Amino acid sequence: MIVIFLNLSHLSDSLKTKLKRIDYVGSITFVGSATGFLIPLTWGGVMYPWTSWRTLVPLLISVAGFVFFIIWEAKFAVEPLIPLRVFRGRTVALTYMCTFLHGLILWCLLYYGPLYYEAVKLYSPIIAGVSLFPATFTIAPATVIVGIIVGKTGKYIWSLWAGWILAVLGFGLQHLLTPTTPIVGWIFIFIVTGLGTGLLFPGLIFSIQAATAENDVAPAIIVFTFLRTFGQAVGVALGGVVFQNDMRRQISSHPSIAKFASEWSKDASALVQIIHHMPDGQAKIDLRQSYNDALRTVWIVCCAFAAAGLIASMGIKAYTLDRELGSNQRFVENVVSDNGHDNGSEDGEKSNSKPLVL
């Protein structure tokens, strides 16, 4: 629809001029540092121990890369990839923090939720995916509801508070899940978490847009998207660390399976197949219970992060979403004068005579 209906007159700069404006040093440093940080997070505790040089070296180099990136953007970049001014202000900083935490808890839910169904409830992968619907199919309706209400009232801060409260409540309720929890029980529990995380999707982006200067909205949204994605990757990795440590402890507490504690606690997803191929008996019962108890620890950690997000959201200030659009583009619009004549220019370069409101 944007391609069809939004007609813009292109800026006259040459391709060479546009290419010169790219912050190549910043781009390479940022992408390299982010990648170097995320890769060892994915294999830490699985392929290599967290104390291994293969895990620590890329993490430390990446942290140094981020430090260099910040110095470069602040002191040397002519047109920074990410202007550091987009981080200024309490509201923006707290919203970015909430965005990171939102991505973290959301992907803990989406990654370890199906494992609960497969390993603890012994569902097949397809049924496990269907069982996740209460947590996932509530996100889109919650987002739509927020959009409609904000469109009518212009108020969005309520969606942040409601989203974090429901997220805290949902993850707290997930701590009650057991191998014998009935279907109706886990359906209503995951609905609460899904609604909470769903409300936060539009609420957080409204907060960034409203609290950011017009010229900085684009880079601010880039940072917003990156932090949410970064939080997702950290969430899966952090959940793995929490699960692995507690799973070892849980298995060790059951004499029937204690000798496998170190081996079976390494990989949450691989352990699913071990459980499914085990013969029925006390060992299988104990392993399912150990898996469930380790996941309960993951849910509690997510609940704590959601509580941190709720506390941070209390410091976010509400700004108006109604403001004039400032742009160096010229919008095409046919404006009809009082006498009924079309005042639009034939060459499509007439500036918009009325303010555009966000």
* 306: nearest Cα among 121, 50, 97: 97
Give me the torsion for CA of 142, 144, 149, 154, rounded to 10°: 110
Burial class (CB in 10 A: 0-12, 13-18, 19+), 70: middle
- CB count within 10 Å of CB 321 equals 16
Question: What is the dihedral sign for C-alpha 142, 140, 160, 233?
Answer: positive
Q: C-alpha 63: how far from its chain's center?
A: 21
pLDDT of residue 131: 94
Spatial distance between the Cα atoms of 293 and 175, rounded to a whole number of angstroms:
9
How does pLDDT run across 152-172, given as a tens digit for each residue?
Answer: 998 999 999 999 999 999 999
Give me the torsion for CA of 82, 87, 88, 91, rounded to 10°: 140
* 196: nearest Cα among 228, 223, 159: 159
* 306: nearest Cα among 93, 110, 100: 100
Residue 9 DSSP symbol: P
Burial class (CB in 10 A: 0-12, 13-18, 19+), 89: middle
Spatial distance between the Cα atoms of 122 and 179, rounded to a whole number of angstroms:
9
For 347, list phi and psi in degrees, rounded to 5.
-85, 5
Q: C-alpha 266: how far from its chain's center?
A: 25
List the end-to-end C-alpha distance of the chain, in Å, as a whole number: 18
Distances (CA, A) of 77 to 26, 63, 127, 198: 8, 20, 51, 37
User: Are the C-beta atoms of 234 and 242 separated by less than 8 Å?
Assistant: no
Identify the segments of the chain with pLDDT beneath 50.
Answer: 331-358
- Residue ranges of the domains in the chain? 22-81, 85-313, 324-358
User: Are the C-beta atoms of 211 and 91 separated by less than 8 Å?
Assistant: yes
pLDDT of residue 330: 52
CATH homologous superfamily for the domain 85-313: MFS general substrate transporter like domains (1.20.1250.20)
